[in-house]
Chains A and B, each alone.
Chain A
Amino acid sequence: MKTKIKGTVFTLLLSGAGILAMAGCGHKNPSFNKPYRAEVLTLNSVDALGNENWSVEEKELATLEKPDSLEGAHFKVILGGTIEINSNVGSLVEGKSRSENSSGFFRFSSRNGVMVGRDTTSLLALSTFYAFEQVVMKVKETTGFEPTDLIGNSKESYKIFLEPALVDAHSDKKAVLIPKLNAAFNPFSDEFYFFRRSELEVHPFSANIKVIAHEFGHALFKKAFFKGKNDFCVSATQQEIAQRLSDKFFAGRFTNEFAISGLNEGYADFNSYVMTSSPRVLSGAVAGTNDASRALNGPDFTFNQLPSEAVCSGAFYCIGTLFARSLYSAAQTYAAGSKELMAFSRRINEAITATPDILNLPPARDILPSPSASSAQCKRSQKISLSYDGAMTSAFLHAFLKSFPEGEEKSKLCTSFAKFFGDSGFNKEARSVCPS
């Protein structure tokens, strides 16, 4: 009997080892076939009153190429990863991804061949892919750029990090942070970051096409204004700093300037409106917050009021809101989502593309302020200077308008800029480009 029991124990242990070995064969999603379809959370429409229609439904992922790893023709979704951050300005980040060797992965099941997320993370990842795809598919119509022309540095596709960790590149301790409630674009490495989902988000940022279109707007601004390449503002010797003070176009200056950062944000908000028809990029994003000062149709404020945080407390974002509201105001002739609005948006984009070259010509070059001491040292301002930043926006708006086709739209833009930027942010010299 004892021998029998001994044999039973060994049999059981061997069976168990076998179970563990088989179980350890690894994770695998089911196979899916083209055209890939997935169940995603999506914003379907926004009505004239701003009411949003969201649903979870089956959609085609037309550009998806590798369903298991969510790699597509234009971008790749990466779960986790670590980002080494040098600095950040609003939703623009300077740094690089240190690791994308994710131990995280997407878990899908198949329902009649449709990809279905088996957990919240995987559902959001599919939703992110779909929303990005919708944005990329509109790029040609709204900007004139081909999606394939957008990425510089010979990269094959954008990387979209979901829930990445951050480490401070300047810290010896290398503490790892898991931020929440934000999204960002890194123009230096063409990476998008959607930070850890939060219970304060109403609709998750990573599936919110308004937020995604805003972040993608930064990629478009990079292509248009920065000619596809943002220069780092690198630290310099005292002698080099002294030289920079008289060089209005030293490398990396505009990447760091408070006002240009604001105009970048404004362009991104306007892009979000053009692509989604919602003038409120942040509405319904974070519970309990008032997005009125950021909304394109929110209560008016002007450039001269910006030092007062009572009207707008978002630093350079407020300059951006003025720029976005100016564009939005001039676009009111066109219905949201209309072909006319798309054509207007393309003209805006063409003008921004020409702006940096015209900035280098008089009179824009003369309106442009010489770099401030902090600008020459690559230090970012934390608050607005009406005179310095006003001269910066004046020069930009002048060069922008000079590139814009003559006609009724240009007159409307002039009127809007004059209304929102006033004499400080759109000064007399800058207005010389407007019809009298």
Chain B
Amino acid sequence: MSAPLDSLIQLVSLGAAVAMSDRNDSDNMSTRVPQYEMAIQAYSILPWPNVHMRSGLRLGMEGAADESHPLSLEVKESGTRFALESGVVLDGPLLPSASIQALVLRRSLELDTHGTSIVLTPQSKRTEWLFGGAFQVGLGIPIQGGRVLLEPFYRVLVIPSDVRQSSQWGGEVSWAFDELKQ
């Protein structure tokens, strides 16, 4: 690592997270959508005591929703999402954090007739790109001397072309490559 970056970046961590969101299917019904993420984050010093900047990249995958659908037809949704995030972490016995994320989602939509005899239009698969943002708050619980961080979190999602999901909650575990430097 070059000297200027070394003076800025105190620690790099790798994380894995599981999140859930309630997708508002109609006015009255919501279905739960799981999401699995990998993250790489860098902690930097800030000019305030015990306050660190945390920036990172996230790559996530949306799982299948637990929605009910007729036997003969379903629009199957699956997707990957990429996020750039930046925020602050307070150092202490627990590590509260707040961050914002810029999101890009690539969603695959497939018309699935579950093997029934429905004749489909030739273009039964398609892809859409969605853009949005998120605000996340979390509470880190350091274990193993701070090398591992368990962090439950809550996110407010804003995705204009898919406002069915407006929030997300989950937990992340991350492993630090080095301890926080003071």
Asked if B160 and A57 make an inter-chain contact with CB atoms under 8 angstroms apart, the answer reads no
Q: How many chain B residues touch the partner (CB < 8 A)? A: 54
Asked if B45 and A23 make an inter-chain contact with CB atoms under 8 angstroms apart, the answer reads no
Asked if B88 and A9 make an inter-chain contact with CB atoms under 8 angstroms apart, the answer reads yes
Is B182 at the interface (CB under 8 A from chain A)? no
Asked if B133 and A120 make an inter-chain contact with CB atoms under 8 angstroms apart, the answer reads no
Contact code string A154-165 (vs B, CB < 8 Å = 1, else 0): 000000001111
Is B111 at the interface (CB under 8 A from chain A)? yes
Asked if B158 and A20 make an inter-chain contact with CB atoms under 8 angstroms apart, the answer reads yes
Q: Which residues of B contact A8 (CB under 8 A)?
A: 53
> Which residue on B lies nearest to A5, using beta carbons?
B46
Of B27, B47, B111, the residue contacting A163 (CB under 8 A) is B27
Asked if B75 and A119 make an inter-chain contact with CB atoms under 8 angstroms apart, the answer reads yes
Is B86 at the interface (CB under 8 A from chain A)? yes
Minimum C-beta distance from B74 to chain A (A): 6
- CB within 8 Å of B: which A274-299 residues: 287
Asked if A41 and B47 make an inter-chain contact with CB atoms under 8 angstroms apart, the answer reads no
Minimum C-beta distance from A212 to chain B (A): 15
Q: Which residues of B contact A163 (CB under 8 A)?
A: 25-29
Minimum C-beta distance from B120 to chain A (A): 5
Asked if A120 and B69 make an inter-chain contact with CB atoms under 8 angstroms apart, the answer reads yes
Q: Measured between alpha carbons, how far is A391 from B100 in the docked complex, in Å?
A: 74
Of B118, B121, B126, B160, the residue contacting A54 (CB under 8 A) is B118
Asked if A164 and B100 make an inter-chain contact with CB atoms under 8 angstroms apart, the answer reads no
> Which residue on B lies nearest to A116, using beta carbons?
B126
Of B88, B102, B119, the residue contacting A56 (CB under 8 A) is B119
Asked if A3 and B47 make an inter-chain contact with CB atoms under 8 angstroms apart, the answer reads yes
Minimum C-beta distance from A149 to chain B (A): 31
> Which residue on B lies nearest to A4, using beta carbons?
B8
Query: Chain A at the B interface: mostly helix, strand, loop or mixed?
Result: mixed
Of A16, A26, A82, A196, the residue contacting B29 (CB under 8 A) is A196
Is B68 at the interface (CB under 8 A from chain A)? yes
- CB within 8 Å of A: which B95-145 residues: 100-102, 109, 111, 113, 116-121, 123-124, 126, 128, 131-135
Q: Which residues of B contact A12 (CB under 8 A)?
A: 55, 86, 100
Minimum C-beta distance from B101 to chain A (A): 8
Minimum C-beta distance from B110 to chain A (A): 11
> Which residue on B lies nearest to A18, using beta carbons?
B133
- CB within 8 Å of A: which B74-104 residues: 74-75, 77, 86, 88, 100-102
Asked if A5 and B44 make an inter-chain contact with CB atoms under 8 angstroms apart, the answer reads yes
Asked if B100 and A178 make an inter-chain contact with CB atoms under 8 angstroms apart, the answer reads no
Q: Which residues of A contact B70 (CB under 8 A)?
A: 197-199, 201-204
Minimum C-beta distance from B155 to chain A (A): 11
Asked if A20 and B68 make an inter-chain contact with CB atoms under 8 angstroms apart, the answer reads no
Minimum C-beta distance from A77 to chain B (A): 11
> Which residue on A lies nearest to B113, using beta carbons?
A56
Asked if A103 and B68 make an inter-chain contact with CB atoms under 8 angstroms apart, the answer reads no
Asked if A119 and B118 make an inter-chain contact with CB atoms under 8 angstroms apart, the answer reads no
Of B24, B69, B88, B133, the residue contacting A199 (CB under 8 A) is B69
Give the B-binding residues of A (Cβ under 8 A). Answer: 1-3, 5-6, 8-9, 12-13, 15-17, 19-20, 22-28, 39, 41, 53-58, 79-82, 102-104, 107, 109, 111, 116-121, 123, 162-165, 176, 178, 180, 196-204, 287
Given contacts A16-B133, A41-B73, A199-B68, 12 further A-B contacts (CB under 8 A): A5-B47, A20-B134, A23-B159, A24-B160, A25-B160, A54-B72, A55-B120, A80-B27, A120-B67, A164-B27, A178-B28, A202-B71
Give the A-binding residues of B (Cβ under 8 A). Answer: 7-8, 24-29, 44-47, 53, 55, 67-75, 77, 86, 88, 100-102, 109, 111, 113, 116-121, 123-124, 126, 128, 131-135, 158-164
